[in-house]
Amino acid sequence: MSPAADSDPEQAQNADPGAIRRVLLVDDSRVQRRILSVSLKRDGYEVIEASSGQEALEICKTTRPDLVLSDWMMPEMNGLEFCREFRALPGDEYGYFILLTSKSEKAEVAQGFDSGTDDFLTKPVNAYELRARISAGERILRMQRELTEKNRVISDTLDELQRVYDSLDMDLIEAKKLQQSLVPDRFRDFGTAAVSLLLQSSGHVGGDLVGHYRISDTRVGLYSIDVSGHGISSALITARLAGYLSSSSPEQNVAMQALPDGSHVHLEPREVIARLNEITLGEMETEHYFTMLLADVDLETGRIVMSQAGHPHPLVQRADGSIEQEGPGGLPVGLIPGAEFTQFEVTLAPGDRLMMLSDGVTECPDGTGQMLGEEGLEKLVADLTGQDLENMLQAIVWQLDTYSGGQGFPDDISGILFEFRG
């Protein structure tokens, strides 16, 4: 106990800030207060005296002591009642409470601890024992105050992290709006055909992208892209790819090649994907790669030329309800320089539909982790036969949610549904 080791009051003021400095002495006996007060002041403590529990309680409301020495037996409010009221006072600062008593029965001691007492001293008080008990109180108070300070630092850090999280969350919400704006036309009627688009990220933003662009009055390009990974970096790649496949700026669209006369000619789907492969490896400087399905659709004949780069097979649902899934598979884009991509054809009759879905659909797990798969997708689409074009993709999402048991989707969900009317 540092004050006990040196009786210089000035040195006591410079003691460890975790040590006891202010002592409240509560006893209805003036003589007892005088005896203890002299001893405590000699050891360098600031002593405040109170002749009753009520008076002591009023003092504590304005001046919180580090240590309370209170007699048990006092009129009106005894030491136990005062201790309970003392503990009920608002504030984070903890005061060490020693009860002075002649009682030594175990039941009475237990009653004192239940009331919030930290320690006991038997009257008459021995000066050496008093110093020892105060030293124990100092150690406990020091640890308590260190813990309080650490909790404060943790609380401040958590508050700062929450502010950072809220700021990031707001930024991500805005990023989500921007990413969704990359797909402005969720439904487009071409007269002889129509197309519906779906883009649903598993988080705020994702790595999927779907869209269409005009090739000519009778042809449109449809693309479905799935960038590796999730989150912001994948979303940034999709934003750049959307620019390379722009529907509003043919001169920026890598699927279009400018001719000397100022006109543009559309490249074959395999050539477009090969171009994107070169750009990804040569210009983007990213570790990401992506899968892609690109279709060149003739709106008059229903003939579709497609190139598949690691993307799930396209699904064709004929007007009679039969379902076909086929494709060469192919390599993802952005893995191998000079990679070659093949293409294949599908012809739709009036009433036939083409679906280009990301692997977030076929790889959607149920409650046991079992993925939907291609067969499950065929069954799901067959069950939705007759669903109107505009709501078909959303109906697929609802069915997937039921399949997953309402656990949400671990991957982005995106798709294109094209219907040929002839």
Residue from 35, 49, 47 nearest 3 by CA:
47
Residues 146 and 234 in one domain: no
Number of domains in the chain: 2
Position 332 in a domain: yes
Q: Which pLDDT value is given to residue 68?
A: 95
Residues 259 and 131 in one domain: no
In this predicted structure, the answer to whether residue 50 has a pLDDT above a threshold of 70 is yes
In this predicted structure, the answer to whether residue 3 has a pLDDT above a threshold of 70 is no
The answer to whether residues 346 and 306 touch, using CB atoms and an 8 Å cutoff, is yes
In this predicted structure, the answer to whether residue 10 has a pLDDT above a threshold of 50 is no
Residues 136 and 20 in one domain: yes
In this predicted structure, the answer to whether residue 1 has a pLDDT above a threshold of 60 is no
Query: What is the average per-residue pLDDT within 174-189?
Result: 78
Residues 121 and 190 in one domain: no
Position 93 in a domain: yes
Query: What is the average per-residue pLDDT within 168-188?
Result: 77
Position 176 in a domain: no
Confidence of residue 16 (pLDDT cuts 50, 70, 90): very low
pTM score of the predicted model: 0.66
Distances (CA, A) of 331 to 8, 76, 219, 326, 334: 84, 89, 26, 16, 9
Position 167 in a domain: no
Position 166 in a domain: no
Residues 330 and 225 in one domain: yes
Q: Which pLDDT value is given to residue 105?
A: 65
The answer to whether residues 305 and 299 touch, using CB atoms and an 8 Å cutoff, is no
Confidence of residue 286 (pLDDT cuts 50, 70, 90): confident
Q: Which pLDDT value is given to residue 6?
A: 41
Position 235 in a domain: yes
Q: Which pLDDT value is given to residue 115?
A: 86
Residues 96 and 145 in one domain: yes
**In this structure, what CATH number is given to the domain that contains residue 112?**
3.40.50.2300
**In this structure, what CATH number is given to the domain that contains residue 273?**
3.60.40.10
Residues 115 and 224 in one domain: no
Residue after which a domain boundary falls, among 151, 170, 203: 151
Residues 337 and 246 in one domain: yes
Confidence of residue 399 (pLDDT cuts 50, 70, 90): very high
Query: What is the average per-residue pLDDT within 168-173?
Result: 78
Position 366 in a domain: yes
When the pLDDT of each residue in the chain is averaged and rounded to a whole number, the result is: 88
Residues 196 and 118 in one domain: no
Residues 323 and 364 in one domain: yes
The residue with tokens 């990220």 is 201
Query: What is the average per-residue pLDDT within 16-26?
Result: 78
Residue after which a domain boundary falls, among 133, 151, 169: 151
Alpha-helical (H) ranges within 248-404 are: 269-279, 359-362, 373-383, 389-403
The fraction of the chain above a pLDDT of 70, given in percent, is 94
Which residues share a beta bridge with 22?
Answer: 46
Q: Which pLDDT value is given to residue 9?
A: 42
Q: Which pLDDT value is given to residue 376?
A: 94
Residues 218 and 136 in one domain: no
Residues 225 and 146 in one domain: no
State the residue range of the domain holding 136. 2-151
Round to whole Å and give the CA distance between 334 and 342: 16
* Per-residue pLDDT tens digits for 96-146: 999 998 766 667 778 888 888 999 888 888 888 989 999 999 998 888 888
* Per-residue pLDDT tens digits for 64-107: 999 999 999 998 899 999 999 999 999 878 899 999 987 666 67
Which residues share a beta bridge with 51?
Answer: none
Q: Which pLDDT value is given to residue 187?
A: 93
Position 164 in a domain: no
Q: Which range, 41-45, 111-115, 121-125, 354-358, is most confident? A: 354-358
